[in-house]
Amino acid sequence: MPHFDLLSAQSSPTGSRLDARIKVRMAHLQWEKEERDKEFQLRRELEIRKLEAVTAVRMRQLELQAAVVGDSAVTQSGPAASFDVSRHISLVPVFRESEVETYFGAF
């Protein structure tokens, strides 16, 4: 099989057609590569945006949960701050001087 010499092919009319075909093929391959690169980049950007959206939603959920927990903590501490002693005086044992040890032991 004879060895193909690209330089000698360029000088003949058939060689110039072959050279043009090679150039067209190279341009087409370059274009395909650029398209694949663009598509990859777009997919990557889309994935990043999806992750950012999921993260933003999750952060908002956590903020809302924290607000609910904070509101319930305020609600629970609210009545404790307005504790009415007169309503609970019946829970305090009767004080007798003869039984001081027992009285203070209740606390």
> What percent of the chain has pLDDT above 70?
77
pLDDT digits (tens, 9 = 90+) for 1-36: 556 555 554 555 667 899 999 999 999 999 999 999
DSSP-assigned letters across all residues of 45-87: HHHHHHHHHHHHHHHHHHHHHHHHHHHHHHHHHHHHHT--GGG
- Work out the pLDDT band at 76, boundaries 50, 70, 90: low
Tokens standing for 51? 């992750």
pLDDT, position 4:
56
DSSP state of 89: G
